[in-house]
Amino acid sequence: MKTFRLVILLALCLGALSVSTVVHAQEEVTLTAWTHDQLYLDYFMERLPAFQELHPEVTITLEGVYDSAAPTNALNAIAAGEPLPDMLGIERGAFANFTRNGIIAQYFLDLTDLIEDERENYAEGRLSIYEYEGRLYALESQLAASLLYYQPAVFEAAGVEVPTTWEQVVNEVGPALVEHGSAFTFATNDGTWFQMYYNQRGGVIFDPEGNFVMGDETNRPLAIEVATLLQQGVQNGSFMVVLGGDVWGGATLPTAYQEGSLAGTVMPDWWSTCCLQPYGGPEMEGEWRVALPPVWEGGGHSTLTWGGTGWAVSSASPNAELAKEFLAFAYLGLESQVLKFESINNFPWYIPAFEDERVLGLEDPYFGGQSLGEYYAQVAADVPSWYQNPFLPNALTAMGDNLPGLFDGSLTPEQFVDNVIRATQDAIDFGF
């Protein structure tokens, strides 16, 4: 009997040692992520525990780096032969730089297979931004559809209603607000700011095949039309000029919001969480509302778009497949898209989510309990599509360089547009 007990005890000890050894030997994996926006890292951390449950065989940690220059730092790392993070958030304006010389295809995973079976369920305009030679290399973070954020008390004091067209803004509503010491929205010398209005009107800089078409007989007149209205809006005070980094920091916009000298802002979904609410501060909760953005009388789209961040996976990473799976888990499908909207106000770009009650019914106290989802859903299917090209940064830089001249009247709308066309074409012709 003693011998039998000894055998059992020995077996139990060996079993315990075996379990202990397996637990101790469990692989630890650290997924690294670089981004220019801390909110994405916050959301990833929220989703990590659920993803961990799917992988009991490893212990997963997330190491995030928040840096406004993350895409540039990644390009510098590539040039220096240094390692990349497992996951890289590439702001949509920076993605064109990764298409030069096929960098995106050489250093990052092709993610096309993640959406192939459901491509029709994802907003096309959020796919074209991150495609290179017909393949998808990054997953978008939000729809980036724009609404009008406005202060109803300021509008009421000026005796105006929410405008439905940009022509009403510069001819009626804007001037009435100016008489009461307020501007309708802001203008800035960022090329993407002009692109936002230009795309809404129906213009494109490059076509789907990558041809530079801004100067053709269709797009040049649209660009001049947009430049003309924006110049009028700036010169009559409907648009408050805020230059450079002052849009993203400093006291100009926070002061203007809080004093009511800036009655509203037409910007995408991310503006609410990144800027409007922080700039307005908690004391302005309930004093803002949302409405559909103005449209162009001559046609175009029902909303504007600026921004977006696509997440790419380094193909050289030893954790590449796990990182790819994590991105798909956190970003794709109905549940993840809804959870992201609830967490950081990134409106879904998964079309079935547009009708989900959790999206349509999510009330925001900062906007008096309005459901922002109801408004985003009305314009979601009509977000403008535009197309990447290695020389898109040249076009946007030329726009930014020439916008101050458009604002102060030293350039006519025609001169502004032709300067942009000429600078972009020169860059294409000379390959820089």
Work out the percent of the chain whose per-residue pLDDT is above 90: 84
Sign of CA dihedral 388, 394, 400, 404: negative
Is 267 strand, coil or helix? strand
Q: What pLDDT is attached to residue 26?
A: 65
Q: What is the DSSP string of 400-423?
A: HHHHHHHHHTSS-HHHHHHHHHHH
Lowest mean pLDDT among 47-56, 135-144, 354-363, 401-410: 354-363
| Cβ proximity of 221 and 215 under 8 Å | no
Is 256 strand, coil or helix? helix
pLDDT grade, residue 124 (50/70/90)?
confident
User: In 336-367, which positions are buried (b, 16+ CB within 10 angstroms) versus exposed (e)?
Assistant: bbbbbbeebbbbbbbbebbebeebbebebebb
Q: What is the DSSP string of 188-211?
A: -S-HHHHHHHHHHHT--SB-TT--
Q: What pLDDT is attached to residue 306?
A: 94
* Tens digit of each residue's pLDDT (9 = 90 or more) over 242-251: 999 999 988 9
Inform me whether the pLDDT recorded for 10 exceeds 90.
Answer: no
CA 266 to chain centre: 15
Domains of the chain (ranges, CATH numbers): 28-143+307-380 (3.40.190.10), 146-305+391-430 (3.40.190.10)
* Tens digit of each residue's pLDDT (9 = 90 or more) over 165-224: 999 999 999 999 999 999 999 999 999 999 999 999 999 999 998 899 999 999 999 999
Structure tokens at 219: 């797009």
* Tens digit of each residue's pLDDT (9 = 90 or more) over 270-291: 899 889 999 999 999 999 999 9
> With 0-12 CB in 10 A as exposed, 13-18 as middle and 19+ as buried, what is 116?
exposed
pLDDT grade, residue 19 (50/70/90)?
very low
* Tens digit of each residue's pLDDT (9 = 90 or more) over 70-116: 999 999 999 999 999 999 999 998 999 999 999 999 999 999 999 99
Inform me whether the pLDDT recorded for 21 exceeds 60.
Answer: no
| Cβ proximity of 144 and 348 under 8 Å | no
Is 134 strand, coil or helix? coil
Q: What pLDDT is attached to residue 432?
A: 77
Mean pLDDT of 421-428: 98
Work out the percent of the chain whose per-residue pLDDT is above 70: 94
Mean pLDDT of 126-138: 93
Maximum distance among all Cα pairs of the chain, rounded to whole angstroms: 104
Extended beta strands in 82-184, E state: 87-91, 131-132, 135-136, 139-140, 146-150
Look over the chain and give the mean of its residue pLDDT values, rounded to a whole number: 92
Inform me whether the pLDDT recorded for 25 exceeds 80.
Answer: no
Q: What pLDDT is attached to residue 431?
A: 87
What is d(CA 130, CA 311) in angstroms, rounded to the nearest whole number? 9
Q: What pLDDT is attached to residue 365?
A: 96
Q: What is the DSSP string of 353-375?
A: GGG-HHHHT-EEGGGTTEEHHHH
Beta bridge mates, 91: 309
Is 337 strand, coil or helix? helix
Inform me whether the pLDDT recorded for 5 exceeds 50.
Answer: no
Structure tokens at 150: 């406005």
pLDDT grade, residue 23 (50/70/90)?
very low
pLDDT grade, residue 20 (50/70/90)?
very low
Inform me whether the pLDDT recorded for 2 exceeds 60.
Answer: no
* Tens digit of each residue's pLDDT (9 = 90 or more) over 294-349: 999 999 999 999 989 999 999 999 999 999 999 999 999 999 999 999 998 889 99
pTM: 0.86
